[in-house]
Amino acid sequence: MSSELLNYKDISISYGEKKVLSHFDLDIKQGDRILLKGRSGAGKSTLLKMPMGFAHQTSGNLYFNNSLLDSNTVWDARKRIAYVSQDLDIYEGSVDEFIEEVFSYSFNEGKLDRTKLRRLLVYLGFEKDVLDMNFEELSGGEKQRIGIIMSVLIGKDIYLLDEITSSLDAALKEKVANYFLERKEWTLVIISHDDVWEKENVKVVPVGV
Amino acid sequence: MEIYDISYLSLVACFLLLVIPVFVSQYLKLGIIQDTVVSVSRMVVQLAFVGVFLTVLFDLNNSIVNLLWLLVMLIMATHTTISDVGLDLKKLLVPTIFSFIIGNFLVLLYFNMFVVNLENLFDARFLIPIFGMFLGNSLRGNIISISSFYDAIKRNENRYLYSLSLGAKKHEAILPYARKSLDLALKPSIANMSTIGIVALPGMMTGQIIAGSSPILAIKYQMAIMVGIYVSTVMTVAIGIFMTIRSSFDEYGILKQDVFKSTNA
Ligand SMILES: Nc1ncnc2c1ncn2[C@@H]1O[C@H](COP(=O)(O)OP(=O)(O)O)[C@@H](O)[C@H]1O
Ligand SMILES: [Mg+2]
């Protein structure tokens, strides 16, 4: 068998009468950088939700590590894959409370490295002490960056990034994109309209032409 | 000790007092006369019905009939819980009934056996009123906990999914919400216990004292009842949440949408 991490095979998705995707195929190997492009409503976000079990195909199969993704294997997928959604709405409690909660899950226990956390916060452009702030006070982009930092601390190596640079300023866009693109061992699937992602070794895949 | 009966004539005298709210309403143009009349009539009819019903039940005092009546109370409580919280009856019926049975019935049996020391555990005079008090309180608890739980998990859908995506097991993702709603549901019961006797004399105790019991006996009963109510509420509410959770999340750990009553489509 090949070393495919994620394998979308002949995926079709419809909601009621509405066809969103038909016969979509995509192989993703370790270390791949893939940029999904397509008009709004083409089904890009849906494709990234599937490995998390948050969206399901109408027909076709999705494989993770060469086994069919179903209600048993999805739990392993969630441990290895980071999915940073375009609308990360965590609006109750402070950032630090949420971090404490996430690192109390048995899978994440002992992974909270506070020094690394502070370094990442500074690197990703947080100036004020964001840990004591409530999520209500943060912008969408700030929430996403917190999300990225948590995934990094957990040690995930497959990143599904849904429009994570869309609301950042130019300098930060560049910084965030470089942070991911520099880590060659990571596997990235990116949805973005920003050209900071269109670098060497990034393969553009059209969705729903 | 002598029991002071209220004759039907004195009951009429009591209803005469209602002239006062009528005057108040008239004078201040509150417009509550009609509501008052309707409410009082409903109270009279309902209580008269219960009075007759309980008399028959107590005279009969047949364990099977008593238990059947408890079953009716249970079904009513379950129905009220589920329709009050706007969830789909069929999906949550079994877990909710189950929570009421375990939470109330077991505590009730213990109570009748070891606290009241009844010879017949199913004696109507104890079984029905005590079960009623347990059930009433755990019903309120169940409504608060179940409705706040499903509210919170729906409101925080993104946050919840995000926890799953960060490696939470199903129970780890759900527990923070369950904990909060249990806390919310139990707070009133806890507050009740700590203010009892100071803010208000509880109805049951007042009733016993008026009916001729010594205040000490009434207080002993009240303590026992309060503990019983608290324990049965905690059990019902905890079992209620965890049993409904079992049947309302799918294998992916995601809340089934059909748990909610369909409002659209
Ligand atoms: N759970 C759902 N129920 C119904 N329609 C949905 C659902 N999820 C997505 N869709 C529809 O599927 C289409 C694709 O959505 P999405 O994957 O978010 O597109 P994109 O990210 O490419 O803009 C949209 O038209 C959206 O309305
Ligand atoms: Mg999208």
pTM above 0.90?
Answer: no
Q: How many residues does chain A have?
A: 209
Q: Is the pLDDT of residue A1 over 50?
A: no
Per-residue confidence band for B262, with pLDDT thresholds at 50, 70 and 90:
low
The complex's ipTM?
0.91
Regarding whether B50 and B171 lie in a shared domain, the answer is: no
Regarding whether B41 and B28 lie in a shared domain, the answer is: yes
| Residue A206 near ligand 1, beta carbon < 6 Å | no
Cβ within 8 Å, pair B254-A147 = no
Report yes or no: B34 at the A interface, CB cutoff 8 Å.
no
Write down the mean pLDDT value for chain B: 88
Report yes or no: B257 at the A interface, CB cutoff 8 Å.
no
Regarding whether B78 and B48 lie in a shared domain, the answer is: no
Regarding whether B178 and B151 lie in a shared domain, the answer is: yes
Regarding whether B84 and B42 lie in a shared domain, the answer is: no
Per-residue confidence band for B163, with pLDDT thresholds at 50, 70 and 90:
very high
Nearest CA in chain B to A76: B167
Residue A29 belongs to what H/E stretch? Answer: strand A18-29
Average pLDDT on B179-197 reads 90
Q: Which of B40, B60, B80 is the last residue of a domain?
A: B60
Per-residue confidence band for B264, with pLDDT thresholds at 50, 70 and 90:
very low
Distance A139 CA to ligand 1 centre (A): 23
Regarding whether B107 and B89 lie in a shared domain, the answer is: yes
Tens of pLDDT along B197-215?
777 677 788 888 888 889 8
Question: Would you say A75 and B136 are in contact if contact means Cβ atoms under 8 Å apart?
Answer: no
Q: What is the CATH number of domain A4-206?
A: 3.40.50.300
Regarding whether B89 and B52 lie in a shared domain, the answer is: no
Average pLDDT on B70-95 reads 82
Cβ within 8 Å, pair B165-A78 = yes
d(CA A192, CA A188): 12
Full residue range of the structural domain in which residue B85 is found? 63-264
Regarding whether B90 and B45 lie in a shared domain, the answer is: no
Report yes or no: A157 at the B interface, CB cutoff 8 Å.
no
d(CA A164, CA B224): 59
Pairwise pLDDT comparison (A26 vs A87), residue with the higher score: A26
Tens of pLDDT along B88-145?
767 788 888 899 999 999 999 999 999 989 888 899 988 988 999 999 899 889 989 9
Regarding whether B154 and B223 lie in a shared domain, the answer is: yes
Number of domain units in chain B: 2
Cβ contacts (< 8 Å) between B176 and chain A: which residues?
A: 101
Report yes or no: B259 at the A interface, CB cutoff 8 Å.
no
DSSP for B21-35, please give it.
HHHHHHHHT---HHH
Residue of B151, B165, B179, B250 to mutate, interface with A, max A Cβ within 10 Å: B165
